[in-house]
Chain A
Amino acid sequence: MDFGFYDLDLAIYDEMFVADGEPREHCRAVYEALRNTPREEFETIQERVTRSFSQEGITFTVYGEEEAEERIIPIDCVPRLLRLAEWRQLEAGLVQRIKALNLFLGDVYGECRIVKDGVIPADVILDCPQYRPELRGVRVPNNVWVAVCGTDIVRTHDGFMVLEDNLRVPSGVSYMIANRKAVKAGLRRLYRTCRVQEIEHYGSQLRRTLGELAPDGRKDPSLALLTPGTYNSAFYEHMFLAQEIGAELVEGQDLLVNDGFVYMRTTSGLRRVDVIYRRVDDDFLDPLTFREDSLLGVPGLINAFRRGHVTLANAPGTGVADDKSVYAYVPDMVRYYLSEEPLLLNVETRLCRRPEDLEYTLDNLEHLVTKRVGESGGYGMLVGPHSTAEERDAFAEKLRADPADYISQPTLPLSRSPCLVEGRAEPRHVDLRPFVLTGVETRIVPGAFCRVALRRGSLVVNSSQGGGGKDLWVVDLEGS
């Protein structure tokens, strides 16, 4: 594989190389192996990996104007490497963060101490569309509101930073596992040499986590994974996870609530469900509580949840903690609830609801990334340096009309990692999404869905916007 055209930019952290172009110590073996692998051989590996995704139907669905199309997430088979010691630091930060977020959710639907003590303004919470007053006073098993969290992490020269906490229905873990399986098969010898940490036990960890959250500590609880259905873009993942954890894959129509308990319709009658790993958004969970027109949900589900007869993972209402405005306060939450300094940095965030932040944002639109708080997937945002004057003017108008709906952040020079492009190595921007599981304890498998912006120069890693995937190898070179 040819690295001759690999363009190092000193302003951007490179995952494989240091400033003088030498490979980082933990990347040396991979670099040498890649360099010595003929282009054709690497292309064959890449082709095989892509073909295996297609044949195994590892797809997501994209909806066009007329019909849905099953697509594979493009995968780049050059792994991104992380030292185990770096991973441990990241892991400690993630554990700390999810602990604070769970305490925040318990508080915000309970006593609201954090508001009363003036750490977070009440209107930041009350204005958040994901805040669910219907859930005030609810208690959840083990005080865990977020059992599965997918945290988006980026790296710059300043270190790792959290870009976003995904606390509702984070997706991507199936691609983490599929990428690993495919890349491992293509780079067998290298994989062994690098002593890569295993991630294949994610399913058993998830199963254990969900089991620990069963109502009243029920032994051997019955699990179901609630999917919006086959037309959902992440349906493959729902099916994959249901299989991994031995849960029934159910749709709303398969469930009913009787006398405050949830049952599923089976070929031998109605069977009680104890824990629902739900992959349906709050709005659609229960037409009696949330959106009346929802056909995806289960009437009475929230009542059963409130009574403690069924566990919903993640609990409804968790979106208030991953709102883009509330995000700015997570470091304060860590200090407030845990009396610790945050181990993971936040990206500096300006809330346009504050006049001074709005003014700063409007004055610096061309340098900032400005986002609508309620959007995700790379939509509703303006990447200043990549925008035209017309786009900025149009965006500024929206900002002025509803400032509370926007935040802005500096345009981060996301780190880059080598990718195979037209037969040679080229740098592309990457992030990573590790999955944090919380039951009685918090568990994180040493890996992540590593997203890569495949278009040259692009900073947008979302699969719906031209992003792809990469395998993340946490390597233990010291053999600890």
Chain B
Amino acid sequence: MLSRSAQGVYWMGRYLTRAQYLSHLLELHVQALVDRPVGEIHFGWRRIYRAMKRLPPPGEEWLPEADEFALADSFTLADDLTFDRTNPESVWSSLERGRENARQMRHCISAEMWTCLNRAYLWMRDLEAVDIWRTPEAFYSRTCNEIHNFIGVADATMYRGPAWRFMRLGRAIERIQLVVSLILAQTDLSRRTRIPNLGWPSMLRAHRAAEAYSRIHGIEIQPDRVLDLLVADPLLPASLLSSLRAAAGELDAIETGPGVEADAAARRLSGRACAIILYDWPEAEERDDLIRRVGQCARDLHDAVLGAFVDYAIEDSPLR
């Protein structure tokens, strides 16, 4: 497969995963605006912004203390995270970039995938702000579903060649980085606010883990158990372990890249990150450090993948 095409579908996978993840977070959060205590709402905004390593838009109050979002207008924040074109991580920017990568790589994906994604893009592009903010939950829910549909259509129609593997690799690496960032934001803010359980139920919902948690542990929310589920449960699709295994599986299915050292590093990193969770996590006392190490592995893995298959040195490559 052409290296640039592999890179294109890889980024398509990453951007769409990002758009979907953030949409789902915002969907839950705008639901919370209706009936949750103000403190919890502020906590939620701080967590999202911290996970994205972003400051709220100018004009919004940003204080170092717990009430930093007390004066912030929730809809301004939601708009900043959803439609702001200058925010490269916003839902719109991510969807637009995912769609642009798909447009450039249409010959690598199925026609059904392209049509599905393009329709979602056209739908969002043509929306009026007033319609969105009348029922924002519906908007975020539909955005998530459109991307779910795309993934389902891909599953049903895409040829299982390298393009499929690189798209899934991009999705897995993006998921790892997103989950790591949100967990670290949650644990850090939890320590600072010292309110028991604040934010942990929504962490479960954000990762579609609430039902699994109550089945396994009952209704009492315990942060350590939530973390165990989100980090190390191999049966939860959104867990770090599941995503790491997915990344390792996709790498296994891809022929060795011409960037030999980077290729070896990629395979080693995915294995190392899995090992951290499987062997170090259960006994770990400094759990945040382990999660940070997993996050670092994911960032290095990204670089190694590009080095192995895209940015390799020409002189290293065999001629075919």
Check if A and B associate: yes
* Residues of A bordering B, CB below 8 Å: 54-57, 230, 235, 239, 242-243, 248-251, 253-254, 256, 258, 263-272
Scoring B3, B5, B115 by chain A CB atoms within 10 A of each residue's CB, the highest score goes to B3
Contact of A56 among B115, B258, B317 (CB under 8 A): B115
B37 within 8 A of A: no
Query: In angstroms, how far is the closest chain B Cβ from the Cβ of A444?
Result: 25
Q: Which of B241-262 contact A (CB under 8 A)?
A: 254-258
**Per-residue A-contact encoding for B105-128, CB less than 8 Å = 1, 0 else:** 011000100110011001000000
Neighbour of B3 across the interface among A56, A57, A235, A254, CB < 8 A: A254
Residues of B near A251 (CB, < 8 A) are 4
Question: B309 in the interface, Cβ–Cβ < 8 Å?
Answer: yes
Known: A55-B122, A266-B2, A268-B320. A243 touches B107 (CB 8 A): yes
Bound CA–CA A230/B106 (angstroms)? 11
Q: Is B104 an interface residue (CB 8 A)?
A: yes
Q: How far is the CB of A294 from chain B (nearest CB, A)?
A: 18
B309 touching A267, Cβ below 8 Å: yes
Q: Is the Cβ of B257 less than 8 Å from the Cβ of A268?
A: yes
Most buried by B among A55, A57, A250, A258: A57
Which residues of chain B come closer than 8 Å to A263, judged between CB atoms? 319
Residue of B107, B115, B122, B257 near A267 (CB, 8 A) is B257
Closest to B311 in A: A265
A268 and B2 alpha carbons, distance in the complex (Å): 9
CB of B57 closer than 8 Å to a CB of A:
no
- Pairs across A and B, CB under 8 Å, 19 listed: A54-B122, A55-B115, A57-B103, A230-B100, A248-B2, A253-B4, A254-B3, A264-B2, A265-B4, A266-B3, A267-B2, A268-B256, A268-B257, A269-B319, A269-B320, A270-B318, A271-B320, A272-B319, A272-B320
Complex alpha-carbon distance, A267 and B107, angstroms: 16
Contact status B104-A230, CB under 8 Å: yes
What is the minimal beta-carbon distance from A237 to any residue of chain B, in angstroms? 12
- B224 to chain A minimum Cβ distance, whole angstroms, is 41
Residues of A contacting B111 in the complex (Cβ-Cβ under 8 angstroms): 56
Q: Does any Cβ of A come within 8 Å of B223's Cβ? A: no
- Interface size of B by CB at 8 A reads 31
Given A267-B309, A268-B320, A269-B318 in contact, is the A249-B122 Cβ separation under 8 Å? Answer: no
* Distance of A47 from chain B, by nearest CB (Å): 15
Q: Which of B5, B106, B114, B317 is within 8 Å of A269, CB to CB?
A: B317
* Chain A residues with CB below 8 A from B5, complex form: 248-249
> Which residue of the partner chain, among B4, B100, B254, contacts A254 with CB atoms under 8 Å?
B4
Q: For residue A218, give the distance in angstroms from its CB to the closest CB of chain B.
A: 14
Q: Are A266 and B1 in contact (CB under 8 A)?
A: yes
- In the complex, the answer to whether B320 meets A267 with C-beta atoms within 8 Å is no
Q: Hey, which chain B residues are within 8 Å of A271, CB to CB? A: 320
Tell me how far the C-beta of B2 lies from the nearest C-beta in chain A, rounded to whole angstroms: 5
Question: Beyond the given A267-B257, A269-B317, could you list 14 further A-B residue pairs with CB under 8 A, ordered by the A residue number?
Answer: A55-B118, A57-B103, A57-B114, A230-B104, A249-B2, A250-B2, A258-B319, A264-B2, A265-B2, A266-B1, A267-B2, A268-B256, A269-B258, A272-B319
